[in-house]
Amino acid sequence: MEISNICNLKCTFSKEAFGVCAQWKVNKVSTLMSFDFFKKIADETGRYLTNAELCNYGESFMNPYAAEMIRYLKKVNPNVVIEIHTNGHFFETEEKRVTIVDSGLDILLFSVDGITQEVYEKYRIGGNLKIVTDAIRGICKLKKDMKVNKPKIIFQFILFEHNFHEALNAEKFAKDLGVDEVALKTDIFSCHPELKISHAHLYNSILRLQSKDSRDSFFKENTNAGTSFCDFPWTYPTILADKRIVVCCRDMYYKSVVGKIGDNDTLLQVWNGEGYQEFRKKFLKGEVGYPCNECECRPKK
Ligand SMILES: C[S@@+](CC[C@H](N)C(=O)[O-])C[C@H]1O[C@@H](n2cnc3c(N)ncnc32)[C@H](O)[C@@H]1O
Ligand code: SF4
Ligand code: SF4
Question: How do residues 5-54 score in pLDDT, each as one tens digit?
Answer: 999 998 865 444 445 565 555 667 889 999 999 999 999 999 999 999 99
275 lines ligand 3 (CB under 6 A): no
Tell how far the Cα of 77 is from the centroid of ligand 3, in angstroms: 27
Ligand nearest to the CA of 6: 2
Task: Please say whether the beta carbons of 157 and 183 come within 8 A.
Answer: yes
pLDDT in tens, 162-204: 888 898 899 999 999 999 999 887 666 666 667 778 777 777 7
- Give the C-alpha separation, 186 to 300, whole Å: 21
- Looking at residue 88, its pLDDT comes to 98
Percent of the chain with pLDDT over 90: 63
How far, in Å, CA of 38 to CA of 287, rounded? 33
Binned at pLDDT 50, 70 and 90, residue 220 comes out as: very low
Instruction: Give, using CA atoms, the residue closest to atom 6 of ligand 2.
Output: 11
pLDDT of res. 181: 93
Ligand found nearest the CA of 61? 1
pLDDT confidence of residue 224: 43
**Ligand 3 within 6 A of CB of 250:** yes
Report the distance separating Cα 39 and Cα 70, nearest Å: 10
- Give the end-to-end CA distance of the chain in Å, rounded to a whole number: 30
Residues in the chain, total: 301
Atom of ligand 2 nearest to the CA of 124: 6
| Residue from 28, 57, 86 to probe ligand 2 pocket by mutation (most atoms less than 8 Å from CB) | 57
Question: Which residue's C-alpha comes closest to atom 3 of ligand 2?
Answer: 58
User: For residue range 51-101, what is the model confidence (pLDDT) as tens digits?
Assistant: 999 999 899 999 999 999 999 999 999 999 999 999 999 999 999 999 999
Find out whether the beta carbon of 233 lies less than 6 Å from any atom of ligand 3. Answer: yes
Of 194, 176, 52, 64, the closest CA to residue 112 belongs to: 176
Report cis status (omega within 30 of 0) of the bond before 233.
no
What integer is the mean pLDDT of 93-116? 97
Q: Which ligand is nearest to the CA of 298?
A: 3
For 83, phi and psi rounded to 5 degrees? -130, 140
Q: Which of 85, 107, 131, 252 to mutate to test the pocket of ligand 1 (most atoms within 8 A of CB)?
A: 85
**Residue 297 pLDDT more than 70?**
no
Q: What was the pLDDT predicted at 190?
A: 63
Q: Tell me if residue 207 falls in helix, strand or coil.
A: helix
Q: What is the pLDDT of residues 234-252, one digit of tens each?
A: 999 999 999 999 999 888 8
Summarize pLDDT for 256-296 with one digit per residue, the tens: 999 999 988 999 999 999 999 999 999 999 898 888 887 76
User: How far does the centroid of ligand 1 lie from the alpha carbon of residue 265, in Å?
Assistant: 30
Shortest-distance Cα residue to atom 7 of ligand 1: 86
Distance CA 230, CA 174 (A): 32
Measured in Å, residue 233 CA sits from the centre of ligand 3 at: 8
Q: What pLDDT, on the 0 to 100 scale, is given for residue 85?
A: 97
**Exposed, middle or buried: residue 118 (CB in 10 Å: 0-12, 13-18, 19+)?**
exposed
Tell how far the Cα of 6 is from the centroid of ligand 2, in angstroms: 9
Which atom of ligand 2 is nearest the CA belonging to 22?
8
Ramachandran angles phi, psi of 252, nearest 5°: -75, -10
Ligand nearest 256 Cα, by number?
A: 3
Q: What are the pocket residues of ligand 1 if the criterion is a CB atom closer than 6 Å to any ligand atom?
A: 7, 11, 17-21, 55, 57, 59, 85-87, 109, 111, 156, 158, 185, 187
In terms of pLDDT, which residue wins out, 205 or 15?
Answer: 205
Q: Which band of pLDDT confidence, cut at 50, 70 and 90, is reported for residue 215?
A: very low
DSSP-assigned letter for residue 60: G
- CA–CA gap between residue 200 and residue 54 (Å, rounded): 35
**pLDDT of 142:** 98
Ligand 3 pocket check for 280: Cβ under 6 Å: no
Which ligand minimizes its atom distance to the CA of 109? 1
